[in-house]
Chain A
Amino acid sequence: MFKKKEKRQSIASQYAKRTKLGEIWYRLKKNKGAMVGLAIVALFVLIAIFADVMFDYDTQIAGYNLRNKLIKPCLEHPFGTDEMGRDLFARLLYGTRFSMAIAFSSVLFSVCVGLPLGAMCGYLGGKFDLIAMRLLDILRSIPGILMGIVIVSWLGQSTVNLVIAIGFSMIAPLASTTRAAVLTVRNTEYVESARSIGISEWRIVMVHIIPNCLSTILVQITLRVANAIIAASSLSFLGLGVPIPSPEWGALLSAGRAHIRNASYLTIFPGMAIMVLVLSLNVLGDGLRDAMDPKMYK
């Protein structure tokens, strides 16, 4: 009985007017996996924002107390303590701030460069496209992590340089994804018909082409955020990430490596944190793509 009513309501609500964002939200809400992903990502974002409210950086995060070193997980220290006697739980939560900030700003950096570049290549075509894409091919032929190492060791070790290094290595894949998406939309009949009613080229790109590529690009972006977290962790693991004693997740992993036999929790928990966030971002990206595709609307 209740179910039937619910069904009728949902049919009725399909005909109800929703704004575009409302429609996307409505579709996203139906996707349970994506909602779980969204919840976890939101939780991490909140932790990242309020990390300094919860913990005092100087005493709890960076300050050491050798008397407490290598305590196994217990009530007082849920994730145990490291070789300097610092609480891993606190460091992990505080580390969210570093990992997330690095991931989002490096993706932002690569989007700012890669998206317009790819869109221009796809839309203009011709010589510009040829030259730009070959240059990007050269960039892409260098493994991302190697390029990151080169850039960090060239510019010096700092958080900003880490962002530049990671962002730079992501420009090429982002640009070529955008280009491919624009290329498929550029020659469609609706772009031609937009031209036939006198819409300017600029408006065609902004209103007709980019929104049609958005779902592809958005998924690419969420995947890139996940990749950036891994890249940042890898570079930190190699000792090229954020300077010590900042508790970036990769740096935590790297520090725990020495004790992997006697205190494996030092590597397990940071590793899990990376995995959970990356997985959530992937699932969320997938759900967003489905939600943003108007062809899926009923």
Chain B
Amino acid sequence: MSNEKEIVLSIKDLVVHYEVDGDVIKAVNGMTIQLEKGRTLGLVGETGAGKTTTALAALNLVPDPPGIIKNGEIQICGKDVLHMSQKELEMVRGYDIAMIFQDPMTSLNPVLTVGFQIAESIRIHEPELNSKQAYERALDMLELVGIDRHRGSEYPHQFSGGMKQRVVIAIALACNPHVLVADEPTTALDVTIQAQVLDMMNNLKNKFGTSTIIITHALGIVADICDDVAVMYAGRIIEQGTLDDVFNRTRHPYTEGLFNSLPNIKDRKAELKPIPGLMPDPANLPEGCAFADRCSYATDVCRTKQPEQRMISGTHMVACTAYDDPNFMIERSRKP
């Protein structure tokens, strides 16, 4: 990535472990990622790949105990998040970086009105506003996400799921953060509402110039709104590049497997080809490539050697040992 671009979030060699009753669960194992200003990065992977842990680490919110950030460096707009006092962290959270949680049903406080909950963030980060002004701003935010402003005095249970997620987004964007981390923002919503919410997020992102990380396992959402894609597996990034790189010039066998598990609308009779097996137990990761046991291209080398990350083009990175052989190609890229 060239230097003239502004990096708003940079995660380097992040290692996060959960230590539960003597077991060490290796959730994130050396992950490096950079987010440029104004861009949207999709973080893709199956359940347990470490996506949410990465997101929480970006806010230094990994629950401790049992979570421990073993190694790594996280910078938001040049500020080192992992070595901050509690007070500084509180200033960064919500102001420089904000997070949208997975389930809107549970991420709003049931006994406080939504207007109060949006205003709370504004009051904390912009103390020059009095509570009335902050509340007005909160109602403006509510309008911005497409909810009538007089509903600010209502409680979360009076809203539908999609509207709750809009409120959650309004809280996250209330102080116009540089970085927005959306942890599966649409998983709990039905398809039509998903589209609406994504659309709205996209519009707001363009309006405010917020850089966004979207965590998801739906490739459709990635194709819809992301500029860059990073595929995670067992706590590592195995393929990363622009949307075009990853979708049209897929290199990693796991990414190929993800695409093969999607139904093809043009060939309705084709059988789905799910990836066999399960992700390895994060408490007991294999020595070599974590995907080797499920990979049809795996060789003996894969099982003993951790794959290196290699750059295929200026923007496209893949971590697969098979590319030691310059003639290696996965099936997807053989197709015309």
Kindly list chain A residues whose C-beta atoms are within 8 Å of the C-beta of B171. Answer: 193, 197
Partner of A196, one of B59, B112, B174: B59
Q: List A16-40 residues whose CB lies under 8 Å from chain B.
A: 17
Give, as a whole number of angstroms, the nearest-CB distance from B162 to chain A. Answer: 17
Asked if B125 lies at the interface with its beta carbon under 8 angstroms from chain A, I say yes
Please count the residue pairs between chain A and chain B whose beta carbons lie under 8 angstroms apart in the complex: 81
The docked-state distance in angstroms from the alpha carbon of A208 to that of B174 is 19
CB under 8 Å from chain B, chain A span 189-219: 189-190, 192-201, 207-208, 211-212, 214
Bound complex: CA of A201 vs CA of B90, how far in Å?
Answer: 9
B157 touches A197 (CB 8 A): no
A8 close to chain B: CB less than 8 A: no
**Is B155 among interface residues, defined by CB-CB distance under 8 A?**
yes
Most buried by B among A188, A198, A208, A214: A198
**A interface residues, tally (CB under 8 Å):** 22
Complex CA gap A91/B175 in Å reads: 64
Q: Are B112 and A197 in contact (CB under 8 A)?
A: no
Q: Which residue of chain A has the shortest Cβ distance to B87 in the bound complex? A: A200
With contacts A17-B153, A192-B101, A198-B91 known, is A207 near B112, CB below 8 A? yes
* In the bound complex, CA of A199 to CA of B122 (Å): 11
CB-based contact A197/B94 at 8 Å: yes
User: A4 at interface (Cβ–Cβ under 8 A)?
Assistant: no
**Interface flags, B152-176, vs A, CB<8A=1, else 0:** 0101011000000000100110110
- Least CB distance, A194 to chain B, in whole angstroms: 7
- B: which residues have CB within 8 A of A? 59, 61, 86, 89-95, 98-99, 101-103, 106-112, 120-121, 124-125, 153, 155, 157-158, 168, 171-172, 174-175
A-B complex: 3 closest residue pairs judged by Cβ atoms: A197-B94, A198-B93, A198-B94
* 20 A-B residue pairs with CB within 8 Å: A189-B101, A189-B103, A189-B106, A190-B106, A193-B171, A196-B59, A196-B93, A196-B99, A197-B171, A197-B172, A197-B175, A198-B91, A199-B90, A200-B86, A200-B124, A208-B109, A208-B112, A294-B111, A294-B155, A297-B157
